[in-house]
Structure 1
Amino acid sequence: MSTEMTEPVDVVSTVKDSGFVPSPELYNADLAPTKREGRRWNAYSIFTLWANDVHSLGNYGFALGLFAAGGLGGWQILLALGLGGAFLFLLLNLSGFMGEKTGVPFPVMSRISFGIRGAQVPALIRGIVAIAWFGVQTYLASVVLRVMIVALAPSAGTLDTNDFLGLSTLGWISFVGLWIIQVFIVSYGMEMIRKYEAFAGPVILITMVALAAWMLNKADWSIAWTAPDAKTGGAMWAKIIGAASLWVAIYGTFVLNFCDFTRSAKSKGSIVRGNFVGIPLNMLLFGGIVVVLAGGQFKIDGKVITSVSDIVETVPNTFLLVLACLALLILTVAVNLMANFVAPIYALSNLFPKVLNFRRAGVVSAVIGLVILPWNLYDSPAVIDYFLGGLGALLGPLFGIVMADYWLVRRGKINVLDLFSMDENGDYHYSKGVNPRAVLAFVVTAIVALLLAFVPAFKVVADFSWFIGAGLGAVVYLVVADRQGPFRDVSGEEIAVASAH
């Protein structure tokens, strides 16, 4: 491992040839802008993020639910996912371009609209949600690992009968084993994550296509295209549009901090190409697999499946069953790394830049994800719905405020150097480091977002809550924002570090 990834950076020596010296309270090697030369994330790197994340087990559960309980048939599911994919393509490009231009991660990007101190609020909200889900997803993957272990060594089932803090001995072995693997990968920085995603992407695509082909063969190469209790007319179209909106909301966390990855993108073209293949096209492939799995099983025996595991469990060959479980484990780790591990690492590094680099922040995040005993969170609907659901509802307003400030108020003109300056005259110092206009817009729209999430009377618009929150956040911020400027466009290249992690 390189020295840059394991040791704190000497700020003065890093910028010894520059007239500008960043504040050590705001700057370290992981928060610093990335140099343009040597960036390694190309279109394939971006695509493999989506090759993994789109095909996550949670997404399959959501899409299969459209057939099982949503009353949507084959073409309706494809249309809903296609519409959602088109929206996401636009939103992710807007978010991704910000990272490519500035070279900074989301907590630093938040300083633009919220101030050098106020940025801790959106960064920590995103980080807390991610840490909790990191633990939960690791637990869900450990359940798959337990099934695989018992299939290979039936005697191991004796280790699955006791209970200590909510898990059996085998449960602890499975959870801690996956926890260690993820910490090991993250300890080698973003470059190792990029390589793992590149490896995992083709594995899961091949596995899911093979599973769909196997299902087609079982169903004599024809499927049921109509769902049980199929919706028609206005109810059908409302469900399609609502499903498309929820599909976007699922990615509400990721569109917020996509710049964590695109800060190392080679060009805007790489982002567009990677997003196009990885989002609209890949989502249609995903939708096709969902339709085949759900429609095929329904045609065979009238059974309505709700998860991929329902299919995997029917694989008659132990060897193939183990291979399928391995692929699902590889997938879950890949999704967890990108969606739930990177965000809290940057949030913690932003909170304590003098002491926490990428590796140390990763260990701290992982330890928190362990000590919260996430299986107990997962088994508590109140925690999932009210705590994580409430925090998740705030991500829409945050997205709207950050995007409106960057694209509509500043027109993409950013003084990257001042993002790392404690100078009271700095562009992002505002009032003691906090932009009260952004805070006001956030508080107002956060209240609305929470009402939409939890008040039963608003259930009719619940499917559209992310869009409402994001749109309202943007509108309110545009009303109160300072449009006078002047807004300066200053590159951060002179304090940038090599994009090697």
Structure 2
Amino acid sequence: MTNSKEGGPHPSLNRWHKFLQYIEVPTDPGVPNTPWLNRDLIPMPKERRTYKIWSYFIYWCISGLCISGYAGGSTLLAYGLDAQQAIVTLVIGGLIVGVLSVACGWMGERFHCGVQVQLGHAASMQQPTAAHCVDSPYRGAYFPVIIRAFATIFWDGLQAYWGGQAVAVTIGAIIPGFAHIIYYVFFITTMRIPPERLQKPFIVSSVMFGGTLIGLLAWAVSNTHSGGPLFREPASPVHGGTGWAMLFGITAILGAWGGGTLGQSDWTRYANRPYAPTLSQLIAAPFCIIVCATIGIIVTSCAQEIVGSLIWEPFLLLATLQDYYNDSPRVRAAIFFAGLGCVCAQLGISIVLNSVSAGMDLSRYINIRRGAYLLAFLGLASNPWQYLSNASTFLTVISGFGIFFAPFTGILLADYFVVRRCVIKLEDCYIGDKRSIYWYRNGIHWRAPLAWVLGVFPTMPGLIMITRDATTWNVWVRMFNITFFLGLLISFVAFSVICWVSPPGNVGIGVLYHEENSFEADGEPETEEEKGPM
């Protein structure tokens, strides 16, 4: 469309072009916003690598000590495990989470780049950054971005709903009857803090919720002088015996933390030295997951004996206790601080698992902060209370995410450790044309989608069946019960074999480790601080 008098662009097109320029994210000197490059995607320069060993311990305190971790432990009982078996299941699942975190975060630790770079050359794209899809006809990277975004919306809504309930309980302890949800106000404020400066808020969050857990545990055990009735009840598996129930429990744990393990490089890239995250991932990850969920089981069990009902969310238990103790001033004060710990835990976990990874997939118009705002809105719109109606539904849903994340994890690990032997040419990860050695035909690394489908197919029928009818028990449901193991193993093996039969080319070119403080892609150097208000 042109202007009839001057032959130039129509005024409406000029206004649209100016609007697009106006809403572009702020740029740093030397790092333009391109379809494959911005300051959220480049390898972290040394001045932004601020995370030390203790930082990753705190990270896993945030990830493991949270309401979903607390509730996940106690809801394992809904599938017929007794309390002791649920704790054993937690130990096994937590240890596996620790090992997967180390493996998935290894490339970020060595090359200081996020999971988008990993998924790019490994899991279906012609470029090791999903952002390249925005302005390119090569759109193979869209798929994993959509899957991760969908899961992030779900978890953001879930964590926000729980955080909102915790806020209502906290304020209700001081002003009874006041239950307006203002959690998002705190969340949006916290999202403005850059990831490299989050250690101190994380410490506050960990201490606050740790105090809540200790307080609940002390109250529960001192009133019952035991672990409660759930530790005396025998196991009663719904289907298939105790072994299958425990496998389903492990799958639920891996499904709940699958997105977090897959995205570990988003955080390990901030490490100030090699191996800084490793010890924390191997020790702190399982320790925090196991301790939080075990406390959840004990408190839920004791609370059943004290108040007469099975309550597996800590904020609901706090609200119940306020009524149980007749709104006494001492109880209201205790519930206020305990509820505040729950609020801090939800703020921390929402930042760790949702906002940081949310904004790095679209580079020109979406950065970390804007992506977090967008997914916060979509999370609220997802009606999270609908899938929290009962423990069975909750576990089925979080286990279901393992169907999608496990094959991605298998492909990522196979590509980096088996196919490429940890050797990456980092500069080519940020070049969006045929000069890159990671340029695949028509923008799709066909080997990865094939391996992903092979990993998803055996477990998808079981998810559909058990969602429609929880009493279904057949071979498909049994395969779904081990979905994370099966999906990861099949995709890992399939991708390795396919790449052995049909090598992707240019394998072995690059380095094992990237330490330089400067980085150039298409002639553009790295930079430092984030600019602009958003």
For the criterion TM > 0.5, the same-fold answer is yes
Among residues 314, 320, 323, which one is paired with 2:321 in the alignment?
314
Shift of 1:80: 1.4
Residue number in structure 1 paired with 2:80: 70
CA distance in 1, matches of 2:313, 2:398: 22
- Residue identity in the other structure for 2:519: E
Aligned pairs for 1:372-391 (under 5 A) are 372=381, 374-375=383-384, 378=387
Q: What is the TM-score when the length of structure 1 is the normalising length?
A: 0.83
Matched, 1:133 2:140: no
Residue number in structure 2 paired with 1:205: 210
Contact 2:73–2:294 (CA under 8 A) maintained in structure 1: no
Among residues 168, 190, 195, which one is paired with 2:195 in the alignment?
190
Which deviations, in whole Å up to 9, do the C-alpha atoms of 1:461-487 show, x marking residues without a partner? 322112211111112211212445432
Cα RMSD after superposing both structures:
3.1
Contact 1:193–1:337 (CA under 8 A) maintained in structure 2: no
Among residues 169, 190, 202, which one is paired with 1:147 in the alignment?
169
- Residue identity in the other structure for 1:188: I
Shift of 1:354: 2.4
Aligned pairs for 1:389-428 (under 5 A) are 393-428=403-438
Greater Cα radius of gyration, structure 1 or 2? 2
C-alpha spacing 1:358/1:71, structure 2 compared with 1 (3 Å): closer
Shift of 1:378: 4.4
Contact 1:23–1:420 (CA under 8 A) maintained in structure 2: no
Shift of 1:229: 3.8
Residue number in structure 1 paired with 2:88: 79
Among residues 342, 348, 369, which one is paired with 1:328 in the alignment?
342
Matched, 1:271 2:277: yes
Aligned pairs for 1:474-493 (under 5 A) are 474-481=492-499, 482-483=502-503, 485-490=506-511, 491=514, 493=518
Give the 3-state SS of the residue equivalent to 1:71 in structure 2.
Answer: coil
Contact 2:256–2:401 (CA under 8 A) maintained in structure 1: no
CA distance in 1, matches of 2:479, 2:78: 22
Aligned pairs for 1:13-28 (under 5 A) are 13-14=30-31, 24-28=34-38
Matched, 1:252 2:273: no
CA distance in 2, matches of 1:364, 1:39: 27
Contact 1:67–1:227 (CA under 8 A) maintained in structure 2: no
- Residue identity in the other structure for 2:152: A
Contact 1:71–1:227 (CA under 8 A) maintained in structure 2: no
User: 5+ residue gaps in structure 2?
Assistant: 1-23, 128-138, 326-330, 467-473
Residue number in structure 2 paired with 1:471: 489
Residue number in structure 1 paired with 2:477: 459
C-alpha spacing 1:142/1:311, structure 2 compared with 1 (3 Å): closer
CA distance in 2, matches of 1:387, 1:244: 14
Give the 3-state SS of the residue equivalent to 1:314 in structure 2.
Answer: helix
Residue number in structure 1 paired with 2:519: 494
Q: Which has the higher contact order (CA 8 A, sep 6+)?
A: 1
C-alpha spacing 1:26/1:307, structure 2 compared with 1 (3 Å): same
User: 5+ residue gaps in structure 1?
Assistant: 15-21, 157-169
Contact 1:72–1:236 (CA under 8 A) maintained in structure 2: no
Contact 1:26–1:421 (CA under 8 A) maintained in structure 2: yes
How many equivalent pairs are there?
463
Shift of 1:376: 6.8
Shift of 1:391: 6.0
Among residues 231, 238, 250, which one is paired with 1:226 in the alignment?
231
- Residue identity in the other structure for 2:483: S
Of stretches 416-425 and 281-290 in structure 1, the one that deviates more from structure 2 is 281-290
Give the 3-state SS of the residue equivalent to 2:55 in structure 1.
Answer: helix
Contact 1:91–1:255 (CA under 8 A) maintained in structure 2: yes
CA distance in 2, matches of 1:361, 1:67: 36
Contact 2:82–2:235 (CA under 8 A) maintained in structure 1: yes
Which deviations, in whole Å up to 9, do the C-alpha atoms of 1:431-489 show, x marking residues without a partner? 13321111222233333342232135412232211221111111221121244543212
Of stretches 360-369 and 459-468 in structure 1, the one that deviates more from structure 2 is 360-369
Matched, 1:52 2:65: no
Which deviations, in whole Å up to 9, do the C-alpha atoms of 1:179-198 show, x marking residues without a partner? 23222222232134333222
Among residues 240, 246, 249, which one is paired with 2:246 in the alignment?
240
- Residue identity in the other structure for 1:443: V
Matched, 1:7 2:26: yes
Shift of 1:34: 0.7
Shift of 1:6: 6.9
Contact 1:446–1:469 (CA under 8 A) maintained in structure 2: yes
